[in-house]
Amino acid sequence: MAYHLLQHDRKGAQRLGDAVCHALLTIKHCQRCNTFSEGNICERCASSRRDSTLLCVVETPIDMNMMEQTQSYQGLYYVLMGKISPLDGVGPKDIGLDRLMARVLDGDVQEVILATNYTNEGEATAHYITAMLASKGVRVSRIARGVPVGGELEYVDSGTLAQALRERKAYGG
């Protein structure tokens, strides 16, 4: 891309450079949900049409977009912008969990939905947040783990199948 811009599109390169500099100057973190935002509060947090009793905790803005794409969530978010990862030297303080705490206790949040990844780091982060929120009077839930929609047992790994079996639930038909 660099060669193409330098040889064929020097004006485009100028525009790209300006855009990147502009983004660096204007895009900051939303004071409520911590995602990228041009204003102090992002549009989603400012919206009165979202359910402010639900707070979904995700690792990255991309994960937030994935949740939005399901079109089945109307609550608010908190974006960690990271995850606890001891092997990489990232602890609870490094991802600002104290700000998450402040956010939960500040608003009218009744349920915190942990939607961190089902990786070791995501699980560790979910555990830590749950411990932090214990005895704070908010419900803490975790998105379900199991066989994917459309999934066939034959192609599912045994770890997932074992979990799906362990977390089986009463079936109403």
Which residues of the chain form contacts with a copy of itself (CB under 8 A)? 58-60, 62-63, 66-67, 69-73, 113-115, 117-119, 122, 126-127, 130-131, 134, 139-154, 156-173
Q: Is 111 helix (H, G, I), strand (E, B) or coil?
A: strand
Nearest-approach distance from CB 23 to a copy of itself, in angstroms: 22
The CA distance from 78 to 108, in Å, is 14
Identity of the residue, 33 or 113, whose beta carbon is nearer to a copy of itself in the bound complex: 113
Nearest-approach distance from CB 169 to a copy of itself, in angstroms: 6
DSSP category for residue 85? B
- Chain-centre distance for alpha carbon 34: 10
Q: What is the DSSP string of 9-69?
A: -HHHHHHHHHHHHHHHHH-EE-TTT-SEESSSS-HHHH-SSSEEEEEEEESSHHHHHHHHH
Nearest-approach distance from CB 124 to a copy of itself, in angstroms: 11
The CA distance from 104 to 131, in Å, is 14
Nearest-approach distance from CB 63 to a copy of itself, in angstroms: 4
Nearest-approach distance from CB 94 to a copy of itself, in angstroms: 20
CA end-to-end span of the chain: 55
> What region does 34 belong to: left with phi over 0, alpha with psi -120 to 50, or beta?
left
Identity of the residue, 5 or 73, whose beta carbon is nearer to a copy of itself in the bound complex: 73
Identity of the residue, 106 or 157, whose beta carbon is nearer to a copy of itself in the bound complex: 157
Nearest-approach distance from CB 130 to a copy of itself, in angstroms: 4
Identity of the residue, 13 or 161, whose beta carbon is nearer to a copy of itself in the bound complex: 161
